[in-house]
Amino acid sequence: MISRANRTPIAEWWWTVDRTMLGLTLVLYAAGLVLSLAASPAVAERIGLPSLHFVLRHAFYAPFAAALVIGLSFLTPRQVRRAALVLLLVSLAMMILVLFVGAEVKGSRRWIYLGGLSLQPSEFMKPAFIVITAWLFAEGSDRPDVPGRLLAVLLLVIVAALLVAEPDLGQTMLTLAVWGALFFLAGVSPILVAGLGGISVAGLAAAYTIFPHVSERINRFLDPSSGDTFQVDTAIQSFERGGWSGTGPGEGVMKRILPDSHTDFVFAVVAEEFGILICMLLMLLFAGLVIRGLMQAFRRKSAFERLAIAGLATQIGMQSFINMGVNLNILPAKGMTLPFISYGGSALLSAAVTMGFLLALSRRSYDQHVTVVPRAAAVGHT
Amino acid sequence: MTIQPPAAAWRHARTALGSAARHTNGERQSRARVLLIIAGFTLLYGALAARMTVLGVASADWQDGTGSFVQSAAMSRPDIVDRNGEILATDIKTASLYAEPRRIVDPDEATEKLASVFPDLDRDRLRRQLSTRSAFLYLKREVTPRQQQAIHQLGIPGIGFRVENKRFYPGGATAGHILGAVNVDNQGIAGIERYIDTSFLKDLQAAGFASERGLEPFRLSVDLRVQHAIRTELVDAMAKYHAKAAVGIVMNVRTGEVVGMSSVPDYDSNDRSEVLDKDRMNRATVGVFEMGSTFKGFTTALALDSGAATIHDTFDATSPLAIAGFRIHDFHGKHRWLSVPEVFIYSSNIGTGRMVLKAGTDLQHDYFERFGFLSELRTELPESGAPIVPKLPWSKISSVTMAFGHGISVSPLQTAAAGVSLINGGVYIPPTFLPRSEEEAMKVARRVLKPETSDYLRHLFRLNVLKGSGRNASVAGYRVGGKTGTAEKVVNGRYSNDKRRNAFLAGFPMDAPKYLVLVVIDEPEPEKPGIGATAGLNAAPMVSGIIRRIAPMLGVEPLLVDPEEEPAMALAFAR
């Protein structure tokens, strides 16, 4: 297909990029498009839009996102860092802006409208935040004169404050979790890690006591009889109706009554129509992507690349786990989209940025590539 | 600016020389932690997979368990048989017509064809339903074989039959109230059918053991022949006396088994629309009534048993009993002192009132509780009515009225169960609709009266049929004994003079009682103008009619010559 002797940028990219992860990503985007045909029309009809409203938008965003993944994967680590820095600054500015001009949806200010497009700045903040935090941690351990860890803590505080202000506790938790993973990987002492773990448990307890809707949801999860568990009950019913092999495409009925069936509860819709086996396959795609990404991190010698790759993979892993866990009622109800699959322009593009950065960073770097050319030496190096 | 070059130089030197070892160390630790995170994600995704497996297994159960209509519609029930093995209820296979609209080629054609067999189907609605893309739709449940054949021959694509079990009651309404009914999905909704579901069938089905034939027949204590005799007597009496309703109960006094129980108007269990008719409720267990003078038997029993009175005592019935501003009269006033047997056979309200006043309300409450009048009687039938009893403490006037069966409302079955203890030697046996031996009965029985008290009561009951108000209950040779009860009904809050609810509590043969018969008839009219409509004139002959028919079936031996009566054979020939 593409000769190894070919030295064009495309060929170079093709031989250095992790083609397994790229393939998994594209398969997930394609699956999301197919599954949106199952999940979206019911929602669109319910809220009085043309039945293909969400499908068409998804069909516009998904290829665009796939292209973005490929485009970003051409970047070098240094370019990724710069792009992330720009993206972080822009999205942080917009997150401040959103607090003042954002439209309030379901009690939160998360959206900003730009020329007919609605954007969720916090979605774009996530990958940029991870890359920059990874860089700060890496610099912090490589160069004692740079107060990397301090800056990383500072950045976390700013981002968390902005997210809580929206409020978007799901994203806050996710951000904290990923930051925690980076902190853990940055090679700090186990005592510090344990201390941070204690602080996060305390933070969780604080959220439980401070935010009434958080405590309500957790109470409901622990004691289903205490309140309205309509969403998760309906989701579980979807799994029961679907069984192993599903009721068949278009045969699902739960999606007609399940709120957010095209975003947060798309997994349950898949279960009903396509069956639990397909759900497991979907889960395996995510697991494969995440573990493959983490294996790439494991191989990296550069601390920045290792941390950034691991952080980005962790983010995809955590987000997919939380979403599927909520659908399966093993976690308290929490609004979280399923990366690559759920409808939502910002979510789809944000996942693309995450994956694009991940692929870019995990490409076999130039110096490695050069040493690989003599075949005998390749074994020794990788 | 001056500090910078040394710092840079130092850094450079470190990178070049000493840092290699330190780096590798930190790197190794960091990489190990990456592996830890991989392990963590493996665990998390493993948890998801485990959860999905659990749900998948659960859904497999769910899909062929009782939760789905497919299964519940086809579920089979055990046959119900009477004590002799006669079938009271059984399952038959019927077909239900369904459509798969998405497989129907031409909805218009299908609609017209279906309507040619079922003209009662709403064509417009049917056409609309068949034009949809839905997967399954019942068109008609329980179609006849002829209709099924007709539809089959039309050969409409997308139309099919599902074989279902339908409950069938060969006896129709004969034992309707006892058997109850099932809904269209063959689930018990009333009577013994419901009892079967709640007591074991649902568990069996949940365990998957009730899927097909092979369930043991469910045997009742009821005797179909007795049941039929009771019911026809009640129906005849209803017509004869233009009554509103009638209840008849036959119980085995040795075991507490209900051998027959009927309440008319009743329902045909095959016709579900009748089951819900309020007028067809089971008055024998759900209805609570003031039982009138039949209660005098219980009052006399408690007075004799507690020692408040002896059989030789006499009570002043010369003038009405004045109490708390009320005056209690006698219906058949004798205006003299009456002995205990006289109080009983003349059904003296005054005498019974004085008896209970002598015993006291505490004793009365105690005995009423033992007779089971103060709490709801629970049997296998889910339908039961709670008694209406005055609030404690009982006043003297309510104590006196309760002594002759007013101011306290109990169900007929409750009265019958208590009546059993009056004549069987003094033990209360909870009534049952399931077969029970005497040994089993003794285990659940409790003594409420001394055996001597029960002996007295047997004599009093017998005396009442020989010489008192119960003469019409007599059946030659079968030594019937019993007590009438004529209760005035409450209309608009007052006791009415012309609306009655009559009862007769009887047992036979009174020298060694085997069966108890209780009959209640609501608002009977005089058989012929000019004569009364008291219990002796309608309820007593109904009892006689029932006993005459059932005693031979139940194997009760008649005395050919009853020293107390005229010769049975002569009487039989005379008729």
- Across the interface, of A143, A181, A324, the residue whose CB is closest to B37 is A181
Nearest CA to CA, how far is A12 from chain B (Å)? 27
Amino acid identity for residue B574 in this structure = A
Residue A380 has pLDDT above 50, yes or no: no
- Give the three-class secondary structure for B468: coil
| Sign of CA pseudo-dihedral A141, A143, A145, A148 | negative
Best to test chain B binding among A185, A238, A247 (most B CBs inside 10 Å): A185
B114-135 pLDDT, tens digit per residue, is 888 888 888 888 888 888 877 7
- Give the pair of three-digit tokens for residue B496: 């009415």
Quote the pLDDT of residue A377: 42
The mean of the pLDDT values for chain B is 85
Quote the pLDDT of residue A290: 95
The DSSP line for A344-374 is -HHHHHHHHHHHHHHHHHTSPPHHHHHHHSS
Q: Angle, nearest 10°, between helix axes B412-423 and B451-467?
A: 110
Asked if B52 reaches chain A (Cβ–Cβ under 8 Å), the answer is: yes
- The answer to whether B293 is a known catalytic residue is yes
A293-324 pLDDT, tens digit per residue, is 999 998 888 889 999 999 999 999 999 999 99
From B96, B221, B293, B347, the catalytic residue: B293
The whole-angstrom separation of Cα B196 and Cα B79 is 11
Which residues, at least 6 apart from B48, have a Cβ–Cβ distance to it below 8 Å? A283, A321, A324, A325, A328, A330
Best to test chain B binding among A328, A336, A338, A362 (most B CBs inside 10 Å): A328
B417-427 pLDDT, tens digit per residue, is 999 999 999 99
* pTM given for the model: 0.54
Average pLDDT estimate for B48-64 = 78
Which residues, at least 6 apart from B554, have a Cβ–Cβ distance to it below 8 Å? B223, B226, B259, B514, B515
- Across the interface, of A242, A297, A321, the residue whose CB is closest to B45 is A321
> Could you report the predicted ipTM of this complex, rounded to two decimals?
0.87
| Contact yes or no for A328 and B52 at CB 8 A | yes
- Across the interface, of A243, A283, A297, the residue whose CB is closest to B49 is A283
A250-307 pLDDT, tens digit per residue, is 777 777 777 777 888 889 888 888 889 999 999 999 999 999 999 999 888 888 999 9
Best to test chain B binding among A256, A330, A336 (most B CBs inside 10 Å): A330
pLDDT band with cut points at 50, 70 and 90 for residue B214: low
The DSSP line for B35-102 is HHHHHHHHHHHHHHHHHHHHHHHHHHHHHHSTTSHHHHHH-----EE-TTS-EEEEEEEEEEEEE-GG
The whole-angstrom separation of Cα A314 and Cα B38 is 9
The whole-angstrom separation of Cα B256 and Cα B251 is 6
**CA atoms within a 13 Å half-sphere pointing along the CA-CB vector of A170:** 21
Instruction: Please give the residue of chain A at the shortest CA–CA distance from B58.
Output: A240
The whole-angstrom separation of Cα B245 and Cα B239 is 10
A174-222 pLDDT, tens digit per residue, is 898 899 889 888 877 778 888 888 887 887 788 777 777 777 777 767 6
Pick the closest to residue A324 from B202, B55, B512 (CA basis). Answer: B55
Asked if B318 reaches chain A (Cβ–Cβ under 8 Å), the answer is: no
- Give the pair of three-digit tokens for residue B163: 């074989």
Pick the closest to residue B517 from B500, B509, B505 (CA basis). Answer: B505
Instruction: Please give the residue of chain A at the shortest CA–CA distance from B32.
Output: A298
The whole-angstrom separation of Cα A339 and Cα A344 is 10
